[in-house]
Amino acid sequence: MTILESIRQPRDLKALSEAELGELADEIREFLVHAVARTGGHLGPDLGVVELTIALHRVFDSPADRILWDTGHQSCVHKLLTGRQDFSKLRGKGGLSGYPSREESEHDVIGNSHAFTALGRADGLAKARRLRGERGHVVAVVGDGALTGGMAWEALDDIAAAKDRPLIVVVNDNERSYAPTIGGLAHHLAALRATDGHERFLAWGKDVLQRTPVAGPPVHEALHGAKKGLRAAFAPRGLFRDLGLKYVGPVDGHDIRAVESALRRAGRCHGPVLVDCITEKGRGYEPALAHEEDRFHTVGVMDPLTCTPLAPSGGPSWTAVAPALGDAEVAVPVRRFGIPEQFLAHAKRGEVLADIGLTPVDVAGRISASLAVGDELAKQPLDAQEHQA
């Protein structure tokens, strides 16, 4: 029996040694590559969160502690560690969903497939627990594009305003949305920022200086300004701090012990905390790492060794038809989504495509409306993900 096969529930992870944890991570990646190759689905995102997910389930006690997954395609490792290892019908009738599903398990807090949705829901759960006087953690895992939408930032703004409501936001920072700068001093300052001793020292120092006549308040303001300047210079995560969130990181998201340490520090803080985990999309699978376009974000049915497709695709891709749809003289970014044949049949040369990423409802709607005001006909194809949510 493999280590993975011995994991029936999250608490089984807590008895594993460091060597066994490393072996488990390797087994999970091998399982995912072969399982997703049989059915098709999201691969790169899950390969990147293996150690992060293991650490989450070792530190927190799901389902008593509520773990939510934004951009739900990152949750396959979570499924494996919560008693769902039959991937034979993944995303098919009678099989596991490719996203969190409340019908499948009590460990899936919400059912969601699109980005931006988990933070607001986590905020509501944390607020409900606070009102009922319940203990336990609420953790929202975001990333892989989930911080590119307004809904996420609106939720972060509300979360940061609730200083007394414990909520942990874990960022799966796989560098696919923005490129972090990591340095030894930045890591040291950020880690120190979230330690209990440092928080107590800052509170004591502020109290003493504020009560010191005449010179106290100006000295406190000067020291506080210098500290903020150093953090801004060496730890490029000032935006989260400016929102009012305590910040832990950046931490190596593939170092289980380091992630566990960061999560435990976050769990001891009072109020909202953001943990920044640097991960690598497609980790451990060379074909994915070599595919710079999307690191095998999604794959069809394929040979896991050669990556040769074993089933026809669902239709032409945006990339393949872009020259026919857009103005040849305009560089148009496109995304790899299937296009219905009837859409292609009505396409006219000279139309320009705009890549609106993961924001089809808001951004595409506004662009289309504005084009209409300018007497330009706008076609807005629906993103299939909207129908899955």
pLDDT attached to residue 299: 86
pLDDT attached to residue 50: 97
Domain 3-180+237-287 indexed as CATH 3.40.250.10: no
pLDDT tens digit sequence for 76-129:
999 999 999 999 999 888 998 888 889 899 999 888 777 778 888 899 999 998
pLDDT attached to residue 374: 58
Kindly indicate the confidence band of residue 179, based on its pLDDT and cuts at 50, 70 and 90. very low
Kindly indicate the confidence band of residue 218, based on its pLDDT and cuts at 50, 70 and 90. low
pLDDT tens digit sequence for 241-286:
777 788 898 899 999 999 999 999 999 988 899 999 999 998 988 8
pTM above 0.95, yes or no: no
Domain positions in the chain: 3-180+237-287, 318-388
pLDDT attached to residue 86: 92
What's the per-residue H, E or C state across the chain? CCHHHHCCCHHHHHHCCHHHHHHHHHHHHHHHHHHHHHHCEECHHHHCCHHHHHHHHHHCCCCCCEEEECCHHHCHHHHHCCCCCCCCCCCCCCCCCCCCCCCCCCCCCCCCCCCCCHHHHHHHHHHHHHHHCCCCCEEEEEECCCCCCHHHHHHHHHHHHCCCCCCEEEEEECCCCCCCCCCHHHHHHHHHHCCHHHHHHHHHHHHHHHHCCCCHHHHHHHHHHHHHHHHHHHCCCHHHHHHCCEEEEEEECCCHHHHHHHHHHHHHCCCCEEEEEECCCCCCCHHHHHCCCCCCCEECCECCCCCCECCCCCCCEHHHHHHHHCCCCCCCCCCCCECCHHHHHCCCCCCCCCCCCCCHHHHHHHHHHHHHHCCCCCCCCCCHHHHHC
